Amino acid sequence: GIQVEQSPPDLILQEGANSTLRCNFSDSVNNLQWFHQNPWGQLINLFYIPSGTKQNGRLSATTVATERYSLLYISSSQTTDSGVYFCAVGLNAGNNRKLIWGLGTSLAVNP
């Protein structure tokens, strides 16, 4: 099955720093999403990005489907960015729809 690897597993930043999180996947997919789980457990969609580049405020994401990776950029990080960032990929294929999650990158932003 499809493998999803996220790196780095852990990241500690000083407030204001920039960072790049990476998601590699082992096979062609037509669904890729980034989620953020905050320290209180709330899990929020960040991007639906099977290909191309999207930006939302200080966050942006790029997926290069042909090379099977996606990057999540966080600029001018804030303490509220802390939490775990998950990449999830899948195939929206009929009755075999699946979503496969990476293990996440745990981010701590210090004031």
In the complex, the residues that contact other proteins under the rule CB under 8 A are 1, 4, 31, 33, 35, 37, 41-45, 47-48, 84, 86, 95-104
Burial of 40 (0-12, 13-18, 19+ CB in 10 A): exposed
What is the C-alpha to C-alpha distance for residues 97 and 29, in angstroms, rounded to an integer?
Answer: 11
Residue 13 or 36: the one with the smaller Cβ distance to other proteins is 36
Query: Least distance in Å: CB of 19 to other proteins?
Result: 19
Please provide the size of the chain in residues. Answer: 111
Question: Residue 64 or residue 93: which is nearer to other proteins going by CB?
Answer: 93
Q: Tell me how far the alpha carbon of residue 27 is from its chain's centroid.
A: 17
Nearest approach, Cβ of residue 15 and other proteins (Å):
25
Nearer CB in complex with other proteins: 81/85: 85
Nearer to other proteins, 16 or 103 (CB): 103
CB of 55 to other proteins, least distance (A): 16
Cβ atoms 4, 85 nearer than 8 A: no
Distance CA 80, CA 87 (A): 19
Q: How far is the CB of 81 from other proteins (least distance, A)?
A: 17
